[in-house]
Structure 1
């Protein structure tokens, strides 16, 4: 039996609302990403509901010109506890989802600290995609780095910008 789920956990020195706000802003996803593949939000809208689609520009060296777009569907949205999305690609007629999900579970520990679990689940990826993409396409360090970046952003947003 193959384990098709990878998780990472951390404690963030920020309230759950602040952590969730960073995750619900696709403009922050490039700064959170531990691989450097996510480039920028293409919609400019905050995530507000399950079923919402948000698009991001991406880059990967293994592609002919490197650039591509992902259309992500929010599959869980329960502020400030859970947010998750399933990446897909728009073929011009519909969005084809690949079967992998990014999920963040937030547990308030007290008023100023939040336990965060990041889960990358590729259990629903069909066999034909697994023939072309090795899963997971990155190591555990990607999730660990992403949580470190998230913690830094949430702590910064909580304390505000540095004084001049």
Structure 2
């Protein structure tokens, strides 16, 4: 763990394309989220390329309860990489990013890592309000466990 990011990884007994199929569907993100903040998708299409924006319904006490986020896809490589920068709905991303990386270890085995990186956050008010990291390494590990469970049900 660095001072500005946390990561977790896990080997999942599934092909990379099955895992990517779940990750690229925002409707499944509440099921995967280990922090409990993601409540539901706001009727977003499947992620298919960089430049897309998907909106999530969230809940977190530090944000006053229910709120929405816009997520700007800035990394996409089918079956290998999915990344997005998150912002409160209607705002520009203040600098934190989620990165999912998949490395095939054979036909039915994939190493999956998730990184939560806030190194680009420079706004002192944002840094004070959120007190990064907003999620823990344990939350990321729970997300990987949830993803493994979700993929086994594909």
TM-score after normalising by structure 1? 0.88
1:151 and 2:148 are equivalent in the alignment = yes
Pairs aligned (count): 152
| Alignment correspondent of 1:24 | 24
Q: CA offsets per residue over residues 43-81 of structure 1, 9 Å max, x none?
A: 2310011010000100112343x1100000001000100
Structure-2 separation of matches of 1:144 and 1:120:
12
Q: Report what 1:115 is aligned to.
A: 111
**Bigger Rg, structure 1 or 2:** 1
Shift of 1:136: 0.2
Q: Distance in 1 between matches of 2:148 and 2:95?
A: 27
Secondary structure of the structure 2 residue equivalent to 1:110 = coil
Task: State the distance in 1 between where 2:49 and 2:56 align.
Answer: 17
Say whether the 8 Å CA contact 1:7–1:143 is kept in structure 2. yes
Unaligned runs of 5+ in 2: none
Pairing 1:1-164 to 2, within 5 Å after superposition: 3-64=3-64, 66-91=65-90, 95-128=91-124, 129-157=126-154
Structure 1: gaps of 5 or more residues: 158-164
Q: CA RMSD in A?
A: 1.2
TM-score for both structures, normalised by structure 2: 0.94
8 Å Cα contact 1:12/1:155 also seen in 2: no
Aligned to 2:153, the other structure's residue is in SS state helix
CA distance in 2, matches of 1:99, 1:86: 7
Deviation at 1:31, TM superposition (A): 0.6
Q: Deviations over 1:111-132 (max 9, x none)?
A: 0010001111110011321122
Runs of 4+ in 1 over 4 A off after TM superposition: none
